[in-house]
């Protein structure tokens, strides 16, 4: 069965610090998709990034970067020089292409608080 | 504007009184899904639909029903709500079959007394 673990329930940092949110997944499929979503205090869910299992390239988007490592089944998210506006709940999610096609599994989320 | 809409946004009801939460998307997406969000439990999938007339159970389907008679609509039905269904509910849609990102509605906060 597919599973996503976000071991860090809550993280608190001071503005301008770098922070890494961990995501570890389990799947038996060879083709799968990983996602990160952000839920700010206003409550909406916002898509951040998608990765398929065949693309292990790391990605950088401004202050955000993602490290996908199939060898450790991890898809970690780093925010560089954090800002107060980064305070949110962040979810990692997994979708399988075959075994559980259609099912989407989310981690429990990591609540990030960035203090000024 | 491309969006997923849900109604109502807030609902307080009593045990056993049937209710429907509507979900509609205007992006012509094949895939739609319902989730519930509870503190510390992340988002858990209730039901999903890969296309019209095709629905399947997620991880927590007990006590819920869905239907997909039109591509744009995916209502969530609670035939006999119970207090343990008090939660924040999100509807989502996606182009294709989950190889693309999901677009989420604004959420419906349901309280069952």
pLDDT tens readout for residues B72-107: 999 999 999 999 999 999 999 999 776 789 999 999
On the question of a cis peptide bond just before residue B8, with omega within 30 degrees of 0, the verdict is: yes
**Is the separation of the CB atoms in A94 and A33 below 8 Å?**
yes
Q: What is the mean pLDDT of residues B2-31?
A: 96
Count, residues in chain A: 116
Average pLDDT in chain A: 95
DSSP class of A111 = E
DSSP class of B73 = B
Chain B nearest C-alpha distance from A66 (Å): 16
Cβ B42–A106 below 8 Å, yes or no? Answer: yes
Q: What is the DSSP string of B78-102?
A: ESS--GGG-EEEEEEEESSSSSSPP
Token pair belonging to A108: 């429990």
pLDDT > 70? residue A115 = yes
CA A49 to chain centre: 8
Give the tens place of pLDDT for each residue, A86-104.
Answer: 999 999 999 998 888 889 9
Cβ A102–B97 below 8 Å, yes or no? Answer: yes
Cβ A109–B42 below 8 Å, yes or no? Answer: yes
**Is the separation of the CB atoms in B40 and B32 below 8 Å?**
no
pLDDT > 90? residue A50 = yes
Percent of chain A with pLDDT over 70: 100
Q: What is the pLDDT of residue B98?
A: 66
Q: What is the pLDDT of residue B99?
A: 75
Across the interface, of A37, A97, A104, the residue whose CB is closest to B45 is: A104
| Distances from the Cα of A115 to the Cα of A37, A63, B15, angstroms | 21, 17, 41
Cβ A47–B44 below 8 Å, yes or no? Answer: no
pLDDT > 70? residue B44 = yes
Q: What sign does the dihedral A55-A8-A38-B25 (CA atoms) show?
A: positive
Q: What is the pLDDT of residue B25?
A: 97
């Amino acid at each position: 069965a597919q599973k996503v673990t976000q071991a860090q329930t809550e993280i608190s940092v001071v503005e301008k610090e770098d922070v890494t949110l961990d995501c570890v997944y389990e799947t038996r499929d060879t083709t799968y998709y990983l996602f990160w979503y952000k839920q700010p205090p206003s409550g909406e869910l916002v898509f951040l990034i998608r990765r398929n299992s065949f693309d292990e390239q790391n990605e950088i988007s401004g202050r955000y970067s993602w490290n996908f490592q199939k060898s450790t089944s991890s898809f970690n998210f780093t925010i560089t020089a954090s800002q107060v506006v980064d305070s949110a709940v962040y979810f990692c999610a997994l979708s399988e292409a075959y075994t559980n096609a259609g099912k989407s599994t989310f981690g429990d989320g990591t609540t990030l608080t960035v203090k000024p | 504007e491309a969006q997923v809409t849900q109604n109502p946004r807030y609902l307080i009801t009593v045990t056993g009184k049937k209710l429907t939460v509507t979900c509609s998307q205007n992006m012509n997406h094949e895939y739609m899904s319902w989730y519930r969000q509870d503190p510390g439990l992340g988002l858990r999938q209730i039901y999903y639909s890969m296309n019209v007339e095709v629905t399947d159970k997620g991880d927590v389907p007990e006590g819920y029903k869905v239907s997909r008679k039109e591509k744009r609509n995916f209502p969530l039905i609670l035939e006999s709500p119970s207090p343990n269904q008090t939660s924040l509910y999100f509807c989502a849609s996606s182009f294709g079959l989950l190889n693309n990102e999901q677009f989420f509605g604004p959420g419906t906060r349901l309280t069952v007394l």
